[in-house]
Amino acid sequence: MSLSVVILAAGKGTRMKSNLPKVLHKIAHKPMVEHIINTVESLGSDAINLVYGHGGDMLKQALSNYNVNWCLQAEQLGTGHAVMQAVDNIKDTDDVLVLVGDAPLISTETLNKLVSAKQNADLALLTVDLDNPTGMGRIVRDDTNNIEAIVEHKDATDEQRKINEINTGMMVMGGADLKRWLGNLSSDNAQNEYYLTDVIEMAASEGKKISSAQPDWHREVEGVNNRVQLASLECAYQHRMAEQIMMQGATLADPHRFDVRGNLEIGNDVYIDINAVFEGEVELGSNVSIGPNCILRNCKIGDNTKIEAFSLIEDSTVAEACTIGPYARLRPGTDLAEGAKVGNFVEIKKSKIGKGAKVNHLSYIGDAEVGATANIGAGTITCNYDGVNKSKTQIGEGAFIGSNSSLVAPVEIADGATIGAGSTITKKVEANHLAIARGKQRNISSWQKPTKNK
């Protein structure tokens, strides 16, 4: 049987105090609804129907890379009314999984449990037990523990409000049943809305079998209505990621000061100091050490590499046993070979740094190839941009570039060549030659120091 998914994402989110649709607010640097879509894709669903309303253009732009059916809910008249907007895309033979777009921590494992619960029933609910269920719809069961209704908090009696099992808003049922029940919904309630939860009572009155499933972690089903709840879920997400990383072999200096905003893969015996941020796809080899306040974005770091404090690495590849930082920046296209060293206040862009080569202080290397064991002195820059085009600098193996040198590309420094400190190099330097290109020094003995005007 095919699985059709309906994601309810039409709410404005008034309490967010934002012009942005609520479901586009981010957890781990990604919109909440995108987390939901990614989880649903892992289920192998046949169709994803996104019910939208406020900020539709922003939603479509943010989710332009996803194949979804866009279902407009022009008026927000309740969850039942929202699902009605998707019925044209639902087959009678489908299993229909209804999800909320503001519960970003829901896992594939939990949704699989819910879908599996439907296999032996006509309808399955995802429920959770809370110590304080105030404001939530209660799961009402009969004397034999069968689910017979969901009662919203505002409509519940005092006795029903004592129930701790609540509705998460997520359920799965057959397409034909869903369409029939939606057609019988009424807005005769405290909110004057069409509640999707009313289909539970309809199903029970028809003698349908209703089953339930629960998540292993209650925070999976928490929704977001304001920025305090958004921050709370961000913390919950990051703490769970920290626990997973530690179980895989990393030591975190403080699990509460650790952020993953993408996917992080690690080897054994990784050490991560405080305030490290990992974005996109990041891979750390074994025995990698990350200093405090570093940002790693879409990069691969080889075994036994040490990254010192306040370094930024983006779209780069770092081989084994490299040393980077502190305060180093590797921009996109940087490739460090084994044992390379990039020191403090060094910026490298679209360059290859050879095995054992050193760029230790206060330098800019852009659009360059630096050979093995070359040594780049402090203050060296590759002048790679003429205002229109970028040009390449080639530095050979074992070359030595003196401090405060400017290498005007395109230019080649051959193997073993030496550049005198303070030189501006515009022509090729042959292998093992010394090049000095700087103004002649004059010492003037009769020079008078200026005096301060009275």
Choice among 25, 54, 361, 433 that is catalytic? 361
- Take residue 335 and report the two structure tokens written for it: 């490739």
Spatial contact of 329 and 342, defined as CB atoms under 8 Å apart: no
Spatial contact of 281 and 261, defined as CB atoms under 8 Å apart: no
Is residue 361 annotated as part of the catalytic site, yes or no?
yes
**3-state DSSP call for residue 105?**
coil
| Separation CA 414–CA 59 (nearest Å) | 54
- Take residue 277 and report the two structure tokens written for it: 């941020």
Which residues, listed in sequence order, are joined to residue 429 by a DSSP beta bridge? Answer: 413
- Take residue 389 and report the two structure tokens written for it: 């085009």
> Is the preceding peptide bond at 410 cis, omega within 30 degrees of 0?
yes
What's phi and psi for 270, nearest 5 deg?
A: -85, 140
**3-state DSSP call for residue 124?**
strand
CB-CB neighbours of 362 under 10 Å = 18
Full 3-state SS string of 390-412: ECCEEECCCCEECCCCEEECCEE
Cα dihedral 67→49→169→79 (10° resolution): 140
User: Which parts of 173-259 fold into alpha helices (H)?
Assistant: 175-183, 198-205, 227-247
What's phi and psi for 164, nearest 5 deg?
A: -95, -20
Residues whose CB is less than 8 angstroms from the CB of residue 104 and which lie 6 or more positions away in sequence, other chains included: 27, 32, 33, 35, 36, 224, 233, 237
Q: Which residues are catalytic?
A: 361
